[in-house]
Amino acid sequence: MITKSESRFIRLNFITIVVTLLVILAGGIVRSTGSGMGCPDWPKCFDQYIPPTDVSQLPANYKEKYVAERLAKNERFAKYLESMGKAELADKIRKDQSITVPEEFNAAKTWTEYVNRLAGATLGIFLLITAGYAFAYRKTAKRILILSLLNIFVVGYQGWLGSIVVSTNLTQWIVTVHMLLALVILAIAIYTYNYAKQLHQQRSVIMYRIAWLKGFLVFTIVVSIVQIVLGTEVREHIDSIAKSLQFGGRDTWIAELGVEFSYHRDLAIFLTICNFVVYKMVIDRFSGKALPLMAANYIIVVLVIQLASGFLLAYLSLPPYAQAIHILFSTLLFSLQYYLYLLVYRTSTYKPKTN
């Protein structure tokens, strides 16, 4: 029997998952519009809670001021990396001359980045409220409470890393880690949501062997994560190419990527095959309104949209709207795959009793 407090937690947790996806969409819009440096400082934007709309609202020396602050923050970050034994990375950040180049004020980019930060702050609020309701499980399912509290710390670390992304002028590997942490936040929220929903239910039992499906799902999820990382790196290299060409010649950017794009495309084909294999295995084992079957159907829909957005990016000179959609649906695909795995994990094969 699910209590009212538990029902509230489940609803809030689901909303938190949706908000997390919206934050990732906002981040995708920031990347696709080149607005990542729209606010040169963090957590405020140009030292203001409500950012300016015109350059006349800024001091005359605003470029030098924020470059100096950025260099000071990067020095602290470099020392942090050195304490972790990453001296080479620390030295690379100190020598990165692109960090010293000031950004010109652009009101549209500033407000795009500002909305992205508001979305992140909203996510933090929802995670705090969700963690509050998670105390309903302190006696029945402590892992829900522990993971909900852990997610708050992960989001806090993600926010700090976001400030490093800004101060290092979108350094490539930090952007990749930033994206991976977003997947961690999603995975924790999806796990607690599913665990809370299944807490008072019996494990599903089917007549077919399920071990192969579980194993292949794990493999497919790993491939998806690798593809997301590779896609993030491709995007980072496109940013570098765009800057080197002064954002001109957009139709040549893909060609400049070389083998990186080929790897990303080939892995996408392989991932598509893996997902269809998963779908076939699910429909062979589940029927009717079974949640695993519904999740598998959604995976195929999301996969088709993801492939379509990838096609648009490759053959229509990287339209910004397709970039944002591509990032969102790659994350949504991972989310559905992980949710399907959690559903399948609680399913076992029927074994007749023997006397």
Instruction: Please tell me whether the peptide bond between 43 and the residue prior to it is cis, using omega within 30 degrees of 0.
Output: yes
Q: How far apart are CA 135 and CA 144, in angstroms?
A: 9
Which three-class secondary structure state does DSSP give residue 197? helix
Long-range contacts of 91-97 (CB under 8 A, 24+ apart): 93/168, 93/171, 96/168, 96/169, 96/171
Q: Say if CB 25 and CB 327 are below 8 A apart.
A: yes
**Tens digit of pLDDT per residue, the chain (355 long)?**
778 888 999 999 999 999 999 999 998 888 778 777 788 877 788 888 889 899 888 888 888 888 888 788 778 878 878 888 878 878 877 877 777 777 788 899 999 989 988 998 899 999 999 999 999 999 889 999 999 999 999 998 888 777 776 666 656 667 788 888 999 999 999 999 999 998 877 776 665 678 888 999 999 999 999 999 888 888 878 877 877 777 777 778 787 777 778 888 899 999 999 999 999 999 988 887 789 999 999 999 999 999 999 989 888 888 888 888 999 999 999 999 999 999 988 776 666 665 5
- Looking at residue 172, what is its pLDDT? 64
Q: How far apart are CA 138 and CA 88, in angstroms?
A: 44
Round to the nearest angstrom and report the end-to-end CA distance of the chain. Answer: 34
Measure CA 218 to chain center.
19
Q: Enumerate domains of the chain plus CATH numbers.
A: 1-201 (no CATH), 202-355 (1.20.120)
Nearest alpha-carbon partner for 313 in 224, 247, 236, 250: 250
Q: Which residue do the tokens 């940013």 mark?
A: 239
| H/E stretch holding 333 | helix 320-345
CB atoms within 10 A of CB 203: 9
Cα dist from 239 to 101, 123, 231, 243, whole Å = 16, 27, 12, 6
Q: How far apart are CA 274 and CA 280, in angstroms?
A: 10
Which three-class secondary structure state does DSSP give residue 98? helix
Please give the structure tokens belonging to residue 15: 């909303």
Q: How far apart are CA 212 and CA 117, in angstroms?
A: 42
- Give the CA dihedral 204, 222, 178, 91, nearest 10 degrees: 150
Determine the Cα angle at 261 with ends 340 and 88, to 5°: 90
- Looking at residue 205, what is its pLDDT? 65
- Looking at residue 243, what is its pLDDT? 72
CB atoms within 10 A of CB 205: 11
Q: Say if CB 321 and CB 293 are below 8 A apart.
A: no
Please give the structure tokens belonging to residue 285: 């084992």
| H/E stretch holding 349 | strand 347-349
Nearest alpha-carbon partner for 11 in 155, 126, 121: 126
Q: Which residue do the tokens 């977003």 mark?
A: 182
Helices 320-345 and 4-32 pack at an angle, to 10 degrees, of 150
Nearest alpha-carbon partner for 303 in 281, 334, 280: 334
Q: How far apart are CA 37 and CA 35, in angstroms?
A: 5
DSSP assigned state of 135: G
